[in-house]
Chains A and B, each alone.
Chain A
Amino acid sequence: MNFNHTDQQGVLKKDFYERNALNLTLTQNFLDNDLKLTLNSKGILDENSFADQGAIGAAVAFDPTQSVFDPTSPFDGFFEFRGGDTTDDEFRQATRNPLALLLQRDNNAKNKRNISNLNVDYRFSFLPELRFNLNAGFDYAELSGYETRPITSAANNQSVRFENFYEGINRNTLLDFYFNYKNDLDAIDTKLDLTAGHSYQEFFINSKSRTTQNNSLVANPVSINRNSLESYFARASFDISNRYLISASYRRDGSSRFSEDNRWSSFPSVSIGWKIMNESFMENSNVFSNLKLRAGYGITGNQEIGPNYGYLGIYTPSQRGANVQFGNTFVNTLRPEEFDENLKWEELKTTNVGLDFGIFNNRFSGSVDAYYRETKDLLATVPVPAGANLSDLLTTNVGETVSRGIEVGLDAAIIQREDFNWNVNYNISFQDLEITALSLGNDPNFFIPQGGIGGGVGNNIQIWKEGFDPTTFFVYRQVYNNEGQPIEGAYVDVNGDNQITEADRQAYKKATPDYFMGLTNTINYKNLDFSFTFRGNFGNYVYNNTQSGNGFVGAGTVTPQAYYANLNANVLESNFEAAQLFSDYYIRSADFVRLDNVSLGYLFPGDVVDVRASLTGTNLFVITDYEGLDPEIGNGIDNNFYPRTRNVVLGLNLSF
């Protein structure tokens, strides 16, 4: 039994999270320990308060010369740009006061969750090598929340308090079982391990809400989503003379997200290992303490896509406010949704070879791995050519990618004494990812716009194109004057037609790092322990959307109503008058090294209880040339990024 309490204040005011969890485990043995039942149940009660994240963008764009408060303001004393003294007089176009956005909105939710799992493990008494294992699990969560904004908030355009009541159920159920047969076949010096089984999983989500619309509380339609997965699997492993390892597996997976024709797919894999260390010729090695060669080939499947019924033509009825006048009546509308009846499993074929080694009694050890991965029928939601389907975006099998990489991990015990140890761990990964085919168009010039940005409407800054990394940016090449100053609107006329058109936009740089590494040092001296980890990415670029979106004169001054907005300070460097959203000027190197973690601990041993006190800091500093808030942004588009926290934790651990 175990009880846990956590609470955490977020970076934004009103972002707050509190968790109480109770964990219960019951184990019971029957039949002379041949049958073991384990029940594990965890109850979790989360209480969340969510901040209005729109405040981040508002804080970036809000006129910094205005004071936060205004005693004459009808908006609870918060300054807002307005044309009069009533709560209807805010300038709708203006940037809202970010503090008011945070403080005038309440959004609280409660999440009650139970995760339970019953495990049955049975050893057949007549055949002890055979085991039966069964898991029945469920994960059930009930969410309910309430969001509100008063009439006195400038972000509430209605003449009543804005309210949003929401609730939902999230339920996952799992049932799997397998038979396992393990035997040592001494006659041929082989250890045998066979497994075969079946698994079924179901995911169910039900949500509903009521929201203030046109001054009255309106019930939104209930949304129900269900999907399920079923698998049959088998695996055979052979360990021959503790030298040669051979393993093969086969699974057949079915997903409710695909049509009957494409529902089931088979995923085989094989792997071999050679424990060179155990060969007789290595017996007398003074250098090596471990040496093992591994290789494998396998196919796995992916069906993790947003929509559950993406292969079916679905019709959605309209809600209030979206009806059409025929004569004197207003008719509900019925919309056919986009679909791809040929939707199928994405397949990842991975080939890998690896070497594990240890020398000088494993004081120095490590591994080297190389992989080559082909992804076929990649599943993604992408813009579909206009007219071909029933929306502008479609979840479909878009093409193929190839990724290659080498990963090296090294461990060294630099000092090994009775009361003083110093371990160093270093890892580095090189990677290369490339789109090799796009199924929508065979033309090598065909591309799919990706990577939505702020500024304008529906603009993208990245492309998917054959031969390029999927996070490649798609930009105009900025022209600079002799002083190195970008010349506004002057771009390289790549195709030489004497005008700057879309045809001059080029694939340029990417957000994926070429390589990344980590370095961890762990030092123990008597009861004192100290460790720190550095982590770094190299060769990755970021599109600085906070600069491109606000770093031009017009962003602050060309406003439809009588207000100013704040500029990004980069305007002082670029001197741009108007937005230059697609200039490669904003593609910036985002190499970084981060001190991820430092931890200092001391153990006070006791007779009854051991006490360990620790001080841990995470995300302590970042070394980078990148000018934005944080260089580590997954998709490479820096736009109103929710700031990464820096945590310092003081911990006390009691062990009885």
Chain B
Amino acid sequence: MYRNFKPVMILFLSTILLWSCQDDLELKPEDNRETSATVFDNPDSYREFTAKLYAGLSLSGQQGPSGNADLQGLDEGFSNYMRLFFKLQELTTDEAVIGWNDGTIKDLHSQTWTSGNEFIRTMYSRLLYQIALTNEFLRQTTDAKLDGRGVSGDLKSEIAEYRAEARFLRALSYYHAMDLFGNPPFVTEEDPIGAFLPPQIKRADLFSYIEGELLAIESTIVPARQNEYGRADQAAVWMLLSKLYLNAEVYTGQGRYTDVITYTTKVIQAGYSIPDVPYQYLFLADNDTNGAQEEVIFPITFDGLNTQAYGGMTFMIHASIGGSMDPADFGVSSGWAGLRTTQQFVDLFPGGAESEDKRAIFYTDGQKKEIDNISVFTDGYAVAKFKNVDINGEQGSDSTGEFPDTDFPMFRLADAYLMYAEAVLRGGGGSTGQAVTYINELKERAYGDSSGNITASDLTLDFIINERGRELYWEAQRRTDLIRFNLFTENGVWAFKGGVPQGTTTASFRNIMPIPASDLV
């Protein structure tokens, strides 16, 4: 009996020895995830990490359209950067209303939000998340880290470009955070990753930081129009500087209009053009190839098969379709029946929806111009500006009609023209004649001829704010513009502003969005 048992005993004892000798508590991921110590062994990682920084603007996670979210405490579709940025910049103004009943969404248009507003809170989370992502990229690509990994030559210079773009993207998000929240928390690559409460930064100090960052990368980022489509270049830096300076008075009390002239001029002379194609081409599925891209300085790219999200362009196109609109005309499978515009905005176009100005792309069939009830889709004209069809009316690449190919033009030449003209009027120097020429280039595209052209005497600040509305509506510019013209709160009235049908003014503290209470101590 003992003889039989002996091998068993030996077997067990050796198993124990084997198991205890192993360092079994040092476990690393075994699936497609990698640790920071090994992930950069693959030189493509730098490019892929950079792609994630851009994806921060267009996507909501690592699986399209949803399923592996960046932010876990929120509904994934709602947490998309572009979707939230659009809502905060447009729904709060005369340009857009939404009929949905999601939580506090209607408080945005009525300007009655509190710091508990989930859309404001989520935008705040998303902005700081994007900043944290870029910080991590910069931490992982310092000279010391790269040297330690033996990175040199072409890869090292490629990474230098990525670093400049990461700093641009961080400056862009800090610009949005400064514009929306005033004094947001401030974290850079110098801070650790952990669980601490980052200190807030004063708006004017953040202004200087963003300016310093942009000036520092101006000469290291890829020259204007030399980078791959979808990636930021020097002109994007100049464009952001122009916007920063144009609104400097709001942020710091100090106008910087001469700098606006300087930097918009750099953009304008960089070789972009207002192409000889209809205005609508800028907002179609093939807007990266149909000619309109000649004007685009920095797009947020989407693709029906490769770049899918329930935010961004998917939201903007689906949500603007309802009533008698046929989704097929927009290259999508369904309407989400939410977004329309106010009667006041329609009236910015001479002749309203029937304007000679071709930029007035409204859907009016079955729609009532005046809004009596925000919740009813047919109250208020629908906006048919963004579509997922190409110039021939063909649907984009996603056969299910769910996810559009249409790219969002974040920065484009027309905006630089308008900023130049505004800076001239605000005493930044430059040339009035040149400004009028630029404006008329936009007018001629809008009217198809010179019938809408202006003269020097028409060029006033009132004209500029209205023209910015006509040219750039639904491009997430409006709130910032109205604040600069002091028309967002104490002045300026449109349907349901202040929560009343005819609209009323609101208190000026609403020029800044509240930071969530849980992040304020």
Chain A residues, Cβ within 8 Å of B274: none
Q: Are B519 and A316 in contact (CB under 8 A)?
A: no
> B residues within 8 A CB of A230?
24-25
Interface centre among A263, A452, A501 (most CB of B within 10 A): A501
Chain B's closest residue to A459 (CB) is B118
| Contact A321 B306, beta carbon cutoff 8 Å | yes
Encode contact with B along A553-596: 1 for CB under 8 Å, 0 otherwise.
Answer: 01100111100000000000000000101100000000000000
Assembly CA distance A341 to B62 (angstroms): 23
> In whole angstroms, how far apart are the Cα atoms of A327 and B228 in the complex?
4
Bound together, the chains give a CA A309 to CA B49 distance in angstroms of: 20
A476 to chain B, nearest CB (A): 10
Contact A325/B303 with A334-B39, A388-B132 known, Cβ cut-off 8 Å: yes
Q: Which one of B39, B65, B122, B517 lies within 8 Å of A503 (CB-CB)?
A: B517
Stretch at the interface among B15-23, B144-152, B422-430: B15-23
Q: Does chain B have a CB within 8 A of A414?
A: no
CB-CB < 8 A to B101: which residues of A?
554-555, 558-560, 579
B118 touches A331 (CB 8 A): no
Does B195 contact A389, Cβ atoms closer than 8 Å? yes
Judge whether A31 is part of the interface by a CB distance below 8 angstroms. yes
Partner of B58, one of A136, A324, A386, A501: A324
A393, CB-defined interface residue at 8 Å: yes
Q: Are A313 and B519 in touch, CB under 8 angstroms?
A: no
Chain A residues with Cβ below 8 Å from B104 are 456
CB pair B51–A324 under 8 Å, yes or no, is yes
Query: Quick check: is B246 within 8 A (CB to CB) of the other chain?
Result: no
CA distance in complex: A327, B127 (Å)? 25
Residues from chain B with a CB closer than 8 A to the CB of A312 are: 28, 35-36
Closest to B63 in A: A319
Best-buried of A93, A386, A440, A558 by chain B (most CB within 10 Å)? A386
> Contact: B73 with A383, CB < 8 Å?
yes
- Judge if B219 is at the interface, Cβ distance under 8 Å: no
A647 at interface (Cβ–Cβ under 8 A)?
Answer: no
Residue in B26, B34, B196 whose beta carbon sits within 8 Å of that of A440 in the complex: B196
Are B402's CB and A157's CB within 8 A? yes
Contact A335:B195 (CB < 8 A) given known A230-B24, A319-B64 = no
Query: Is B338 an interface residue, CB under 8 A from the partner?
Result: yes
Shortest Cβ distance from residue B167 to the other chain A in the assembled complex, whole angstroms: 16
A447 near B518: Cβ-Cβ < 8 Å: yes
Interface residues of B in 234-269 (CB under 8 A from A): none
Judge whether A136 and B15 touch: CB under 8 Å: yes
Residues in B neighbouring A330, C-beta threshold 8 A: 303, 306-307
Q: Does B277 contact A (CB under 8 A)?
A: no
B209 CB, nearest partner CB in chain A, Å? 14
Contacts known (A30-B2, A314-B34, A319-B68); A457 close to B62, Cβ less than 8 A: no
User: Does B292 belong to the interface (CB within 8 Å)?
Assistant: no
CB of B52 within 8 A of chain A? yes
- Partner-contacting stretch, out of A215-223, A355-363, A616-624: A215-223
Task: State whether the Cβ of A346 lies closer than 8 Å to any Cβ in chain B.
Answer: no
A141 interface residue per 8 A CB criterion:
no
- Please give, as numbers and ranges, the residues of chain B lying within 8 Å of A385 by CB-CB distance: 185, 195-198, 518-519
Supposing A313-B36, A560-B100, A560-B377 touch, asked if A333 and B24 sit within 8 A by C-beta, the answer is no
Please state if B25 and A323 are interface contacts (CB–CB under 8 Å): no
In the complex, A334 Cα to B34 Cα: how many Å? Answer: 10
As a 0/1 sequence over residues 6 to 41 of chain B, the CB contacts with chain A under 8 angstroms (1 = contact) are 001000100110011000111111111111100100
Q: Does residue B48 face the partner (Cβ distance < 8 Å to A)?
A: yes
The segment from A254-262, A368-376, A401-409, A636-644 found at the interface with B is A254-262
Chain A 301-316: CB-based contact to B (< 8 A → 1; otherwise 0) = 0000000110011111
How long is the Cα–Cα vector from A70 to B400 in the complex, in angstroms?
Answer: 26
How far, in Å, is B305 (CB) from chain A's closest CB? 7
Instruction: Give CA–CA (A458, B61) in the complex, Å.
Output: 17
How far apart are the CA atoms of A133 and B27 in the complex, in Å?
28
Asked whether B68 lies within 8 Å of A227 as measured between CB atoms, the reply is: no
- Provide the residues of chain B in CB contact with A500, threshold 8 Å: 114
Having A313-B35, A323-B307, A337-B33, one finds 17 other A-B pairs with CB under 8 Å, namely A31-B1, A157-B402, A175-B15, A214-B308, A221-B32, A309-B35, A313-B193, A321-B403, A323-B51, A325-B303, A335-B133, A336-B36, A384-B195, A385-B519, A389-B132, A457-B122, A458-B121
Residues of A within 8 A of B (CB): 30-31, 35, 37, 88, 92-93, 120, 134, 136, 157-159, 175, 177, 198, 200, 202, 214-215, 220-224, 226-228, 230, 254-256, 260, 263, 308-309, 312-328, 330-342, 383-394, 396, 398, 439-441, 443, 445-449, 452, 455-459, 500-503, 505, 554-555, 558-561, 579, 581-582
Q: Which 10 A-B pairs have the closest CB atoms?
A: A321-B64, A456-B103, A327-B228, A386-B128, A387-B128, A458-B74, A313-B36, A334-B48, A333-B52, A331-B51
Residues of B within 8 A of A (CB): 1-2, 4-5, 8, 12, 15-16, 19-20, 24-36, 39, 45, 47-49, 51-52, 54-55, 58-59, 61-65, 67-68, 70-75, 78-79, 99-104, 114-116, 118-119, 121-122, 124-125, 127-129, 131-133, 136, 140, 185-187, 191, 193-198, 228-231, 288, 301, 303, 305-308, 322, 333-334, 336-338, 375, 377, 398-400, 402-403, 514, 516-519, 521
